[in-house]
Amino acid sequence: MSGFLSYFNDAFAVHSAMQSIIVIASVCGAGLLLSKIPTGRFSLGVTWVFFAGIIAAHFGLSIDPIMNSFAQNFGLVLFIYALGVQVGPSFFPSLRSGGIKENLLAIVVAIIGIALCILYYYLLGLPMTDLVGLFSGATTNTPALAAAQSTVASSLQDTAAIESTMALACAVTYPLGVLGMILGMMVLSFFVKNKNKDAKAETKHHPTTAFTEFEVVNPAIEDLSIAELAQRTKCHFVVTRLWHNGSVAIPNSQTKLKLGDRLLIASPEEEGYNALEVLFGKKVDKDWNEEGIDWDSIDNELVSKRIVVTNKEINGKTLGELKLRTIYGVNVSRLDRSGIELFAAPHLHLQLGDRISIVGEGNAVKACEDLLGNEVKMLDAPHLLSLFIGILLGCLLGAIPIFLPGISMPIKLGLAGGPIIMGILVGAYGPRFKMTTYITNSASQLIQKLGLILYLATLGLASGANFVSTIVNGDGLLWLLLGFTITVIPVVLTGWMSMRLFKMKYGSTCGMLCGSMANPMALDFLSGKVSDDSHNVSYATVYPLSMFFRIISAQILILVFIAS
């Protein structure tokens, strides 16, 4: 019996590398088992791992602090970087389609939280250091806490007790920061009048390619080539098919138009059709954008095929460089990247995994297929070199000191801000530098889930030891109440503004709120509740600026109010 107790003690109590792995695995397993318990509409998902860590720490389970810090930060980096790479291809298009508005709303969320902290400072007389800890926990933003603690350490002497109190305030309010965010999103769901309609409309969050048929009745453009026509309008468009005297053809830039010709035009949806209708003369009343169209049955002379880019030689090249229309006589009608439809403009850089819809004669389409690859199995091979290079560059970016006027200490993006910015840049521009950034959806989800679960487990272990005693004794209950208001009030107010005043959809609104709050646990709560990837894109769209703003704000609050 004593041998078994000794073995059990060594495995779970004596700090070592193996003991750390055993404890973390146990906490992760227990939390995931708890997440499987049906709780009706309200579900915490993997956030149960965080509470499993708190419970374990409360009953005395712990691991080496250095090991805990490493696992926590490495998990956070894995999650944040993989998320950035996933949404990188659609990040910059999203800025052109509501991204600026989303970032402004995310800043409003932070400003309301800061205003509440200042209100409680004057109303209740609480130290600003404690309030910044509450602010960090209520917004689940530990990098802001670390930045504020660093500012305290450089501004005062003997700050160990102050920094400890700040961390405890963050730990106490952190759980309700998660719960409050989820509760706020549940409240916002009641503002969605028609959820099916909202989910369907959510897919149009970003610019898509729309197809419209026009008939040439404008005599001013007769005998003009398509190239000459394109110079007469600011609209971007591609003529995918041309019907002339009952026969269909794939036009090129030198094709001349005749009165009575019918054209099938692909154009960015957000540009509208009025200018094109004025140009050609008549819009044909036929919906070419409805689901289920059999493009091959439209005519017998042409075929339409979706081809996946798997040829590494194509990675990073533009559509214009390939000269598909000139060499093969085909047209690219649309391009799908990470679930987002992009307009097939000549300057668009191709990436591995892009799905291109090509229209042309059968032999020509087959030749394009041989050029682009279309070997889906080749995408299953993991490309780990770009993953670790991106993580390395992200950490280096997070370590760069940023000096701002009026602030004596440099500000850093840290391990939360640097990797997501680098992930977005690598996902969006890596192929231009011949980096193979494509990750299968299952691999991306595995990396994100693994990183998030590691982060939650170790965060719970680090903050759970004094959790209950702080709530029972001292200001714990007051901290909980104030932290809950700092979480819920900005979320509900800004979410309501977003959906009612700015007409944003539920998934995009919640993704924006999660990104503003730096709350990946609440983001995971949305999985399965939103029909597309809009919440992830919105999260990554606002996360970098929101993280930077909160880090700066936490330090400014300390610097401004610590002297008073």
pLDDT at res. 8: 82
8 Å CB contact between 485 and 119:
no
pLDDT in tens, 156-204: 777 777 877 887 788 788 878 888 898 999 888 887 755 444 444 444 4
Torsions phi, psi for 87 (to 5 deg): -95, -5
Q: In what order do the strands lie in the sheet with 355-360?
A: 303-308, 355-360, 331-337, 340-342
pLDDT in tens, 242-276: 888 878 877 877 888 888 888 888 877 555 567 78
pLDDT at res. 354: 85
Among 387, 339, 396, which Cα is nearest to 534's?
339
Q: Which amino acid is at 409?
A: M
Give the residue with greater pLDDT, 381 vs 130.
130
pLDDT class for 409, splitting at 50, 70, 90?
Answer: low
Rounded CA-CA distance 87/340 in Å is: 10
Give the residue with greater pLDDT, 394 vs 404.
394
pLDDT class for 377, splitting at 50, 70, 90?
Answer: confident
**Res 52 pLDDT > 80:** yes
Rounded CA-CA distance 172/478 in Å is: 10
Among 2-16, 218-232, 280-294, 498-512, which is the least confidently predicted range? 280-294
Q: How many CB atoms lie within 10 A of CB 69?
A: 12
pLDDT at res. 230: 78
Mean pLDDT of the chain: 81
Torsion of CA 168, 174, 177, 182, to 10 degrees: -160
Q: How many CB atoms lie within 10 A of CB 362?
A: 12
Rounded CA-CA distance 446/186 in Å is: 26
Give the residue with greater pLDDT, 518 vs 59.
59
Among 286-295, 402-411, 553-562, which is the least confidently predicted range? 286-295
pLDDT at res. 96: 63
Torsions phi, psi for 172 (to 5 deg): -65, -40
8 Å CB contact between 180 and 138:
yes
8 Å CB contact between 383 and 353:
no
Kindly tell me the burial class for residue 90, based on how many C-beta atoms sit within 10 Å of its own C-beta (0-12, 13-18, 19 or more): buried
Q: Enumerate domains of the chain plus CATH numbers.
A: 72-194+394-451+469-563 (no CATH), 209-283 (3.30.70.1450), 304-379 (3.30.70.1450)
Q: Which amino acid is at 152?
A: V
Rounded CA-CA distance 222/368 in Å is: 32
DSSP 295: G
> What is the H or E stretch that residue 28 is in?
helix 17-35
> What is the H or E stretch that residue 144 is in?
helix 142-155
